[in-house]
């Protein structure tokens, strides 16, 4: 093709058709520029098509990840609520009068309240890969892009409240260990599967129901736990719901 154009130019010059030569040369330049622009457009289209394919792959993976995360969050909300229900029941028994429950009933309330820590552990493998690799820019939906970029900040707020709540849990456990009988908290068959024998001391735990210090600790535990569920976890759940809605809108 290049030889063909060169031959035409040589023929025009040899016949002294300078005007036609310049017109032809300009036309040839225009054709070359158009060809380059078309090639660039095709290349841009191919790159954009590749990005859209990568975006769709990430959207599907994020959909799975955030669906898993919201299930885990709902489990943690339920777990925290269970802990708080036991704390409230125990708190309502506190006072100067003789307790109306048995050692085993007290132990069940305490263990159900403190046995399992409350800490939400989401899966962030896909999101972390997207952010660390700089692939967040491939998402065409600006609201989704913002939601994904802000997600770790929302988690940090939740972590802060979880830590506040965890402190009150550990303080209650410390009070029980300092003034009560830890073995008798495990006396019920529900908890005695850890190979720990029965206590040989007479001291029980029911006297702790008259402890103002323990009552105050229970109040802190209940308040930090309530804030965690009603404020932080609920806000995070709304955020995940929104992200999932935006993801589903973008999946082709």
Report for 5-19, 28-42, 68-82: range of highest mean pLDDT: 68-82
pLDDT band at 23 (very low <50, low <70, confident <90, very high): low
pLDDT band at 5 (very low <50, low <70, confident <90, very high): very low
H helix runs in the chain, sequence order: 2-14, 18-92, 103-114, 125-132, 142-179, 182-185, 212-227, 234-250
- Name residues whose C-beta falls within 8 Å of residue 36's C-beta, 6 or more positions apart in sequence: none
Given this model, what pLDDT does residue 196 score? 78
Q: Where are the domains of the chain?
A: 54-250
Question: Would the pLDDT of 18 be above 60?
Answer: no
Distance separating alpha carbons of residues 235 and 126, to the nearest angstrom: 22
Stretch 88-114: mean pLDDT, rounded? 92
- Name residues whose C-beta falls within 8 Å of residue 191's C-beta, 6 or more positions apart in sequence: 107, 111, 185
**134: its two tokens:** 């700089």
pLDDT band at 186 (very low <50, low <70, confident <90, very high): confident
Look up the pTM and report it.
0.79
Cα 50-52-54 angle, rounded to 5 deg: 70
Distance separating alpha carbons of residues 91 and 84, to the nearest angstrom: 10
Distance separating alpha carbons of residues 87 and 220, to the nearest angstrom: 10
Of 174, 172, 175, 176, whose CA–CA distance to 185 is shortest? Answer: 176
Distance separating alpha carbons of residues 217 and 91, to the nearest angstrom: 10
Q: Are 228 and 165 in contact (CB under 8 A)?
A: yes
pLDDT per residue as tens digits for the range 124-181 = 999 999 999 999 999 999 999 999 999 999 999 999 999 999 999 999 999 999 999 9
């Amino acid at each position: 093709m290049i030889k063909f154009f060169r031959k035409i130019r040589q023929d025009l010059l040899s016949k002294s058709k300078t005007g036609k030569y310049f017109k032809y040369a300009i036309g040839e330049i225009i054709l070359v520029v158009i060809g380059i622009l078309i090639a660039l457009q095709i290349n841009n289209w191919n790159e954009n098509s590749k990005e859209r394919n990568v975006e769709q792959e990430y959207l599907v993976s994020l959909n799975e990840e955030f669906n898993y995360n919201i299930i885990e969050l709902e489990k943690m909300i339920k777990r925290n609520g269970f802990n708080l229900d036991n704390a409230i029941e125990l708190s309502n028994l506190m006072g100067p009068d003789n307790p109306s429950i048995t050692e085993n009933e007290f132990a069940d309330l305490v263990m159900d309240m403190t046995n399992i820590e409350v800490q939400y552990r989401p899966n962030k493998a896909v999101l972390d890969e997207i952010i660390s690799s700089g692939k967040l820019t491939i998402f065409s939906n600006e609201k989704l892009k913002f939601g994904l970029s802000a997600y770790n900040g929302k988690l940090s707020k939740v972590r802060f409240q979880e830590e506040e709540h965890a402190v009150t849990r550990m303080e209650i456990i410390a009070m029980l260990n300092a003034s009560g009988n830890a073995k008798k908290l495990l006396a019920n068959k529900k908890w005695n599967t850890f190979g720990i024998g029965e206590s040989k001391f007479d001291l029980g735990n029911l006297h702790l129901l008259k402890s103002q210090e323990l009552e105050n600790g229970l109040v802190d535990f209940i308040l930090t736990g309530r804030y965690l569920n009603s404020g932080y976890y609920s806000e995070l759940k709304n955020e995940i719901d929104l992200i999932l809605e935006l993801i589903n809108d973008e999946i082709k």
